[in-house]
């Protein structure tokens, strides 16, 4: 690099500085030439200042933003480095019945997040924004927190009833726990309609079964009864219960929001009306149980949506890593509102 700088300096002197300084025009109009050179320096300085203040050329900014958005999509698992394995008295057999059993720090847990992967995607935000309490994540993927309910896809076996029994047992045997938050991909479990791309194909709603050992046949009835039994068991044990209404599902993948040069800009939001329609029956079940069982209900819709739209991007970050799971940014955005709300409740 040093050698290259000397070569470029020599070429600059030979082909630029020397012709300008010793040309006939320079000798005839020295003041004009000096003014032109000074103007060129000022223009170069102003150009450099503008480029710096705009954080580089547009293409460079877009490339940086592209990397940030890809990290939002692919970087979720990094939060587990900040969490700890469970310190509860679970045996190896019970631990194997759950996908994740994590806690936010050493010591006895006071709060629990119980549910499927939609309980997990709330946990990174909790880690970041609640430094006053020790949280426990008890999660089995594909299993809403419904007692005595089988939940499985066609061609597979139910693992949810056993997992939820272990989770309930863990909560009951840990006296330090005072609050349990119940979260899941709620609207999906009571629907047969494909919506989010990540919940299609082998994981389509019409291939998913929600069954209970009663005369209840509809998914809605099974979901309501199973959640009701969970609430009853927790309240009987003296636990505060919080129903966490699910975040919006998205009918496209977040890669759509990563703009490519020369490509047409695509819509990167959905209407709040569409979200409300998708969650109508599910939200009604939660509202009914909130009233009947005297429990708390938190809705994140006012956090991720305005009056008309629910954008997938905020502050140049994606809130989702696929069509229904939050990114680290999305998790943090919700926890920033949820944690103070819970402390006041």
pLDDT digits (tens, 9 = 90+) for 328-344: 999 999 999 999 999 99
Is residue 208 located within the same domain as residue 127?
yes
Q: What integer pLDDT is reported at residue 183 of this predicted model? A: 98
**199 pLDDT tier (thresholds 50, 70, 90):** confident
Assigned domain for 64 exists: yes
Q: What is the DSSP string of 45-66?
A: HHHHHHHHHTTS-HHHHHHHHH
Q: How many domains would you assign to the chain?
A: 2
What is the reported pTM? 0.79
Distances (CA, A) of 229 to 139, 148, 233, 305: 18, 8, 6, 31
Answer whether residue 309 is part of any domain.
yes
What pLDDT score does 24 carry? 64
Span 310-324, average pLDDT: 92
Tell me if 7 is assigned to some domain.
no
- CB neighbours of residue 308 within 10 Å: 9
Q: Which of 155, 172, 151 is nearest to 163 (CA)?
A: 151
The residue with greater pLDDT, 300 or 88, is: 300
- Residue 217, pLDDT > 90, answer no
pLDDT digits over 69-117, tens only?
A: 778 788 788 888 888 888 765 666 777 777 888 999 999 999 999 999 9
64 has a pLDDT exceeding 60: no
Q: Are residues 171 and 229 in the same domain?
A: yes
Based on the fold, state whether residues 43 and 157 are members of the same structural domain: no
In-domain check, residue 148: yes
Q: Where is pLDDT greater, at 256 or 19?
A: 256
Other CB atoms within 10 A of residue 110 CB: 17
What pLDDT sits at residue 212? Answer: 87
Residue 275 has pLDDT above 90, yes or no: yes
* Same-domain status, 321 and 244: yes
Q: Are residues 44 and 161 in the same domain?
A: no
| Same domain (yes/no): 62, 205 | no
Q: What is the pLDDT of residues 154-187, one digit of tens each?
A: 888 899 999 999 999 999 999 999 999 999 999 9
The model's confidence at residue 58, banded by pLDDT at 50, 70 and 90, is very low
Q: From 59, 74, 89, give the residue that closes a domain.
A: 74
How many other C-beta atoms can be found within 10 angstroms of the C-beta atom of residue 296? Answer: 15
Closest CA relative to residue 162, chosen from 148, 144, 180, 182: 148
Find the domain containing 222 and state its range. Answer: 79-344
Give the per-residue pLDDT at 295: 98
Work out the pLDDT band at 59, boundaries 50, 70, 90.
Answer: very low
Q: Answer left, alpha or beta for residue 316, where phi above 0 means left and psi between -120 and 50 means alpha.
A: left
Domain final residue, candidates 12, 46, 74: 74
Using left for φ > 0, alpha for ψ between -120 and 50, and beta otherwise, residue 133 falls in beta
Q: What's the CATH number where 286 sits?
A: 3.40.50.1110
* CA 186 – CA 195 distance, rounded (Å): 13
Which of 74, 100, 125 is the C-terminal boundary of a domain?
A: 74
Same domain, 298 and 244: yes
| DSSP assignment of 263-287 | SPP---EEEHHHHHHHTHHHHHHHH
How do residues 228-247 score in pLDDT, each as one tens digit? 999 999 999 999 999 999 99
Q: Does residue 194 sit within a domain?
A: yes
Whether the per-residue pLDDT at 216 is higher than 90: the answer is: no
152 and 292 housed in the same domain: yes
Residues of the chain with pLDDT > 90, as a percent, come to: 54
Indicate whether 304 pLDDT > 90: yes
Higher-confidence residue of 131 and 80: namely 131
């Amino acid at each position: 690099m040093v050698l290259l700088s000397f070569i470029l300096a020599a070429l600059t002197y030979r082909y630029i500085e020397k012709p300008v300084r010793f040309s006939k025009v320079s000798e005839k109009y020295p003041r004009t030439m000096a003014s032109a050179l000074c103007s060129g320096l000022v223009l170069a300085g102003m150009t450099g200042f503008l480029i710096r203040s705009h954080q580089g050329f547009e293409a460079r900014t877009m490339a940086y933003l592209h990397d940030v958005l890809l990290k939002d999509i692919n970087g979720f698992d990094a939060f587990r480095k900040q969490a700890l394995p469970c310190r509860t008295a679970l045996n190896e057999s019970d631990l194997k019945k759950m996908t994740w059993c994590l806690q936010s720090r050493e010591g006895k847990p006071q709060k629990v997040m119980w549910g499927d992967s939609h309980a997990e995607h709330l946990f990174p935000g909790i880690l970041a924004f609640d430094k006053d309490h020790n949280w426990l994540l008890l999660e089995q993927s594909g299993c809403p927190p419904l007692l005595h309910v089988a939940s499985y896809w066609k061609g597979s076996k139910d693992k949810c009833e056993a997992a939820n029994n272990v989770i309930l047992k863990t909560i009951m045997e840990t006296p330090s726990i005072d609050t349990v938050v119940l979260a899941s991909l709620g609207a999906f479990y009571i629907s047969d309609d494909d919506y989010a791309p990540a919940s299609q194909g082998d994981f389509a709603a019409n291939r998913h079964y929600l069954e209970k050992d009663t005369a209840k046949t509809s998914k809605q009835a099974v979901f309501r009864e199973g959640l009701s039994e969970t609430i009853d068991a927790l309240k009987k044990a003296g636990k505060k219960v919080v129903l966490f209404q699910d975040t919006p599902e998205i009918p496209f993948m977040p890669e759509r929001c990563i703009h490519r040069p020369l490509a047409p800009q695509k819509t990167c939001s959905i209407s709040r009306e569409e979200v409300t329609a998708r969650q109508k029956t599910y939200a009604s079940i939660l509202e009914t149980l909130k009233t009947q069982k005297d429990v708390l209900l938190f809705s994140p819709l006012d956090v991720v949506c305005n009056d008309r739209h629910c954008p997938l991007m905020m502050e140049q970050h994606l809130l989702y890593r696929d069509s229904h799971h939050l990114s680290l940014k999305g998790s943090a955005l919700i926890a920033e509102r949820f944690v103070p709300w819970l402390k006041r409740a």
